[in-house]
Amino acid sequence: MSRLRIGTRASALATAQTAQIAARLGDHEIVTISSEGDRDQATALASLGGAGVFVSNLRDALLAGDVDVVVHSYKDLPTATAEGIELVAVPKRADARDAFCSTGPRLADLAPGARVGTGSPRRRAQLLAARPDLDVVAIRGNVDTRLGRLTSDDPERRLDGVVLAAAGLDRLGRTGEVRELLELASWPTAPAQGALALEIRRDASADVRRRAAKLDHRPTRLAAAAERGVLARLEAGCAAPVAATALLEDGLLFLTATVYALDGSDSITASHAAYPEDSADPAGELAGRVAQELLDLGAAELAPVGGDR
């Protein structure tokens, strides 16, 4: 068995989640790769080109043969396929929920005008939908930087709360900062949140393919593909406030997606279900039905999404 070279972003969260995956792949070394999204913490993600700025350098290293496998947060991957690269495994998903972190009250009990930070248009819309009286502050930075703003000595930087992915906090051992977990039924999250994605070259060796593929978890892969399929069919990027939740239960794949107005003043939701064995592409077909209903209900007029009707 050869030593696998596993590529990852250099952030604390990326290296922590990659280390968890690497431990299941046998003999390995972890190779950290700097991404544009990590280097530029001042510019809004949408202005940098979306979540794909966390991915391109890892894929370049993979194609160049510098690494054998790369590990991504699945929600960071562009929905378009990359030439020469294969999604070989989607391991079992961690907690898909968002977490509200605060040193004080829960979200519902914050004082009017309280300052809550997020870098996500979807979370911003949800915060304003739930609490239009809040001051929602745009923030970027790693998990430590964001949580540090809860206790900052600088009143201009101090926040009363931040919203982060529960899975990331758990992977970093930072669940002690969680004030409450926001349930998916009322607070759906980004497509594929909580899931990881392993990519290899299409011409990878049989050994690399076998070792990486054994981590694939079919229910997670189906659910994440359905959620991301909504994004693809809506032609929605990271600036679009779109949430999606899918699960495989009792043999039936359920998918619900919501498009929000950027200011949280309105939203549109669509839900469908299908039996995976009834289709060669159950996730894709289900996503198409949900996305089409969202468009028919006026999603393109509500938020920056497109789609071919």
Q: Contact 221/240 with Cβ under 8 angstroms?
A: no
State both tokens at 32.
């950290």
Task: Tokens 């839900």: give the residue.
Answer: 271
Token pair for 134: 């809040």
CA-CA-CA-CA torsion sign (294, 298, 303, 304): positive
Asked if 154 is an active-site residue, the reply is no
As a dihedral over the C-alpha atoms of residue 7, residue 12, residue 13, residue 15, rounded to 10 degrees, the angle is: 30
> What does the alpha-carbon distance between residue 276 and residue 274 come to, in Å, rounded to a whole number?
6
Pairing type for strands 4-9 and 115-118 reads unpaired
Q: Which residue, among 224, 238, 241, has the nearest Cα to 294 in the 3D structure?
A: 241
- Of 76, 95, 98, 160, which one is the catalytic site residue? 76
Active site residues: 76
